[in-house]
Chains A and B, each alone.
Chain A
Amino acid sequence: MVFAALFASLTAVGAYVKVPLPVSPVPVTMQVFFVLLAGSMLGSRWGTISMVVYLLLGITGFPIFAGGASGVGVLFGPTGGYLAGFVFAAFVTGKLLEILPQHSILINFLCMIIGLIIIYSFGAFRLMSVAHLTFQQTMIAGILPFIIGDMAALVLAAFISVRYEV
């Protein structure tokens, strides 16, 4: 439980370690790294709960969403899909790793990629419907810019989740 709280606050801190891209409305953050780490280290149940705690904190008004935003407005705004995706991604990544019998960096990495795809699809879908973009525009604005940075973060996350046990 305390670890769930820890990962919620780590995700909050991860929102501040960000590399904004001028071409896209969605900033690149370290959040994905912590979300998937939470899913893989805490398992499906507590990983999900830690993300719910993170979202609740944001709704309460603390400036912890990416770029220092907060409130219900962000959750329903164009980037809200990514936030909703966090909860499901942590759940699926945790579930997959619970089903699979043995863990290695590669297996963890693959499970995290599935989680990443979930975050992206939620985010892109929301971005598409709110900002009225076509599919290709969404890909260019909402997914492609992040892939390289997120992949590097995932390798690190897979490494940590194998090395450290909670």
Chain B
Amino acid sequence: MNELFFSYVPGRSFLHRLDPRTKLISIMLLSIVVLRASDLQDIVVLFGVFLVFSLPADLGIRHHFKALRPLLLFFLFIFLVQSMSSEGEYIFSMGMIGISYEGIWKGVLVTSRFILLVLFASILISTTSPAFLSLGIERMLRLLPLSLLGISSHDLSIMMSISMRFVPLLHMNFEQIVQAQVSRGMDLRRHPLKGVSSLMVPMVHSTLRMAEDISMAMESRCYQGIYRTSMFELKMRKEDIFSLLIVMIFVILFFHLQM
């Protein structure tokens, strides 16, 4: 895996230029819709919406589908579990477990909901630079009463964007450690317990070191969370309001039709 999935791709397309707040709110709305989707029509419609929204990003559909690849096994797993665990007439059965039509149906539904969520998140991540994303989150967090928690909205937003970045990094780190240990003669199939411990120890160590490096870098650049100015100011333009309206109309239509 040379390329990180879920990473920012620089560009100047329509979606790149939108305000990050617009994109965040749209994703929030869309994720509610996705979780409400309950039959095949809904899924097809939502998939169409995804295609439409991904067009102005100028990245090509393939880029977004790449984000799905590391999760393929997971999808398969969800699908199998869902399809085995529901009742109905069995197509074939092996002892206790069997696969029914209802089960397959439910499995397809749950899996495709999940795929859609990942795809929408992929649009957001690949068109918004991490700096803008955290800026947008910060602006939205200002509305919450955070002083009760004893933390500023700057701190919270930077933590959110760091943890977003950590997920692909942890994945990459894990792959590297697996390869390193395999080249040292680790055999997960023959000694599973020993293998797990020889993966866990370097994993814990290297993640802690990674976090330490980041905090050192922030310290040495005099990071402080009380007040910060940013290089770019966010402005809601006509396009933003326009695209938010489109998303909202879609959401309202969706719920209206489902009633």
Contact = CB atoms under 8 A, between A and B. Distances in A.
A1 B159 contact: yes
A7 to B, nearest CB: 8
A62 interface: yes
Contacts of A166: 208
B188 interface: no
B244 interface: no
A71 B85 contact: no
A22 interface: yes
Interface in A1-50: 1-6, 8-10, 12-13, 16, 20, 22, 45, 48-50
Given A22-B84, A63-B117, A164-B208, A6 B166 contact: yes
A56 B74 contact: no
Interface stretch (B22-30, B57-65, B179-187, B234-242): B22-30
Contacts of A48: 149
Nearest to A53: B159
Interface in B151-168: 151, 155-156, 158-160, 162-164, 166-167
Contact of A60 (B24, B171, B207): B24
Contacts of B114: 63, 67-68
B160 A53 contact: yes
Contacts of A121: none
Contacts, number: 122
A60 B81 contact: no
A1 B215 contact: yes
B45 interface: no
Contacts of A114: none
A73 interface: yes
B31 interface: yes
A60 B212 CA distance: 27
A149 interface: no
Contact of B159 (A8, A13, A164): A8
For the complex of A and B, 10 pairs with smallest distance between CB atoms = A22-B85, A9-B166, A9-B163, A5-B162, A61-B31, A61-B27, A68-B114, A63-B117, A8-B163, A2-B215
